[in-house]
A and B are shown apart, each in its own frame.
Chain A
């Protein structure tokens, strides 16, 4: 478990360093995710300690969003002013993205019979 946590923090560190070095606005933890994914693909298996640490963290992933989510309180005026627009934009954009994907699946006949 501690070993797994060590791996996660080290990869986060490597990702953060790499992303600052390249100067691209990608969060360092996503770069760390990709580096770890690459390592696991080469290793072809997940070390026990890492599997434990990651399932422990991911089990309560949604709790971890709560402090940032409460920050929505600072955008209250924005929600009141543009709330309906936001809802409409989200609906239009979600439906467009889904239709684009469904279109590709039909075009390339990906669907299994």
Chain B
């Protein structure tokens, strides 16, 4: 790796902007619209445009940060293992719900994107919209979609989910904290999990478990189904 001034500048800018965004998020009362990732991404887009950098250069210079997503994804096995003890009695219905939720979320997004926009890259990237970002980026890339677009769609899904789901679950009278958290984790990944922890510890732990399970289940089940979903438009 050739260390250049531009590379160090890109790394310091990325980390610095992120730390500032985190402070802003905490001071603004942790609203998901000001999530540090959202604020950092848009700020850095502005910064690299002002500096006249092309994205591929920035991407190369920040490879070190991106690389850490690999081991971090493997590390998700640790909280997953620790939280599995929670679901002993409810394991079967929760697994069925997780698989159903993951497939409905991915399938409906892919089919609707193909039908309404006819944009294939968008449809392929939409398949990863409800799963946790580290897994979503890899999955979208290996399907022929775009990891960056998937990252953006995941953030949007998280923000939309945390805005709509609490009301939806109140209307449906789903009051059990464990199930409430589970639905948030499956449909709104890390954003849902953060919101669930504000409700109660149980709610948060179930959301975290649901988030990791959904990521794993989707990575295995969704890729073989995607060509079929995308094909709906051209066949139908």
CA distance A111 to B119 in the complex (A): 40
CB proximity to B under 8 Å, residues A55-107: 55, 57-58, 61-75, 78-79, 82, 85-102, 104-106
A-B contact count (CB 8 A): 286
Considering only CB atoms, which chain A residue lies closest to B71 in the complex? A8
Q: Are A57 and B68 in contact (CB under 8 A)?
A: yes
Report chain A residues within 8 Å CB of B35: 62
Stretch from B1-9, B26-34, B102-110 contacting the other chain:
B102-110
Q: Are B160 and A30 in contact (CB under 8 A)?
A: no
Considering only CB atoms, which chain B residue lies closest to A74 in the complex? B55
For this complex, into which size category does the number of interface residues on chain B fall?
35 or more
Considering only CB atoms, which chain A residue lies closest to B176 in the complex? A111
Report chain B residues within 8 Å CB of A75: 146, 148-149, 152
Report chain B residues within 8 Å CB of A64: 65-66, 68-69, 72, 134
Q: Are A32 and B73 in contact (CB under 8 A)?
A: yes
Report chain A residues within 8 Å CB of B97: 101, 104-105, 110
Instruction: Check B198 for interface membership: any CB of A closer than 8 A.
Output: no
Q: Which of A33, A58, A94, A99 contacts B161, CB < 8 Å?
A: A94
CA distance A96 to B100 in the complex (A): 11
Interchain residue pairs A-B with the least CB separation, the first 4: A71-B148, A27-B138, A54-B75, A97-B105
Using a CB–CB cutoff of 8 Å, the interface residues on chain A facing chain B are: 5, 8-9, 11-12, 15, 24-30, 32-34, 36-37, 40-41, 46, 50-51, 53-55, 57-58, 61-75, 78-79, 82, 85-102, 104-106, 108, 110-112
Subset of 14 A-B contacts with CB under 8 Å:
A12-B70, A29-B73, A30-B135, A33-B74, A37-B216, A57-B72, A58-B79, A63-B65, A66-B37, A69-B148, A72-B45, A95-B168, A96-B108, A110-B179
Using a CB–CB cutoff of 8 Å, the interface residues on chain B facing chain A are: 14-15, 18, 35-37, 40-41, 44-45, 48-49, 55, 58-59, 62-63, 65-66, 68-82, 84, 90, 93-94, 96-97, 100-102, 104-105, 108-109, 112-113, 116-117, 119, 121-122, 126, 129-130, 133-135, 137-139, 141-143, 146-149, 151-153, 155-157, 160-161, 164-165, 168-169, 172, 174-176, 178-179, 182-183, 186-188, 190, 215-216, 219-220, 223-224
